[in-house]
Amino acid sequence: MNQFKPNAYIQPDELTLMKILVTGAAGQLGSYLVEALATEHQVTGLDVKDTRWPVKGAEQVKGDVGDYRLAMKLCRGMDAVIHTAAQVSVDRSVSDPVLDARENILGTVNMLETATKSMVGQFIYISSAAIFGNPVKVPIPEDHPTRPLSPYGVSKLAGENYAFAFMETYGLGVTSIRPFNIYSPRQDPASPYSGVISRFVDRVKEGENLTIFGDGLQTRDFIAAGDVVRMVELCLGNDNAKGQAFNCGTGKATTVNELAALVAKLSGKKPEIEHTDPRKGDIKHSVADISLARKALRFRPATKLRDGLGGFF
């Protein structure tokens, strides 16, 4: 990895106008990125789905990241590509690992190749904390061993490795960001891909009880989507970020029991909290060590969990 250059740090508001392609632009993180970046830059969003959050001034293109001709057309003239597009369901990756590999690995390789051939200056790959598997120490640093538990985790790790291989082989400027548990009101609670926060919020709004797998003492690092966007902004045009992989979390552990109690309190209701059998293969503790991002990017997560959850009600 590259050594840090403190004088290379660039505040986002010091950046000149950039042409940026965001893949997965109709998704939770991608939509926030398009919205935030379009205020200062020329942004194009790509997704197989129509966006539910159109942004004035941003171009929205419907298409697949696996489409070579389309990707070449869109990458041409871009200063940066932010690759968020992915198949994000662990369960789906287990039931259909071939589809997962096709979308997450081959789709990523296609974007890397077209970005390289188009001489894009920076490629920001949105990876996942799922690459680590069961942690051997917590908080989890970037150099923690990687042994994913699911095909999804494997495909995200493969995409990250391909990205850095393109950097070493072809000179593409690559940055990888590894979000832990992203949340926002744009998560669809009806989707099988939603996280525990969306499921809890949906159930409490419907007047249903909250179900916790196991004893609820398992910990997670919940990071607001807006803070992930902030890290991406800090990486854009920043020489410190090129060649680096950054954990993206708050560095704070929250038990599922604490999360359920907080959701219940903010809702103003009094749902019963039920415990059921633990899920097979569920990781007990997962919290990010974000000291590298603090040092290299001056990253500070700004959203407290209580405040972030307040946006759901």
Distance between CA 203 and CA 269 in Å, rounded? 11
223 DSSP β-pair partners = 182
Residue with tokens 């998704």: 27
**What is the CA 169 to chain-centroid distance, rounded?**
25
Distance between CA 303 and CA 244 in Å, rounded? 24
Report the candidate in 192, 98, 178 with the shortest Cα–Cα distance to residue 132. 178
Please say if 152 is a catalytic residue: yes
What is the chain written as a DSSP string?
-PPP-GGG---GGGPPP-EEEEESTTSHHHHHHHHHHTTTSEEEEEESS--SS--TT-EEEE--TT-HHHHHHHHTT-SEEEE------HHHHHH-HHHHHIIIIIHHHHHHHHHHHTT-SEEEEE--GGGS-S-SSSSBPTTS----SSHHHHHHHHHHHHHHHHHHHH---EEEEEE-EEE-TTS-TTSTT--HHHHHHHHHHTTPPEEEETTS--EE-EEEHHHHHHHHHHHTT-TTTTTEEEEES-S--EEHHHHHHHHHHHHT----EEEEPPPTT--SB--B--HHHHHHH-------HHHHHHTT-
The first and second tokens of residue 279, run together, are 């899920």
Q: Which of 152, 162, 170, 183 is catalytic?
A: 152
Distance between CA 242 and CA 222 in Å, rounded? 25
The set of catalytic residues is 152
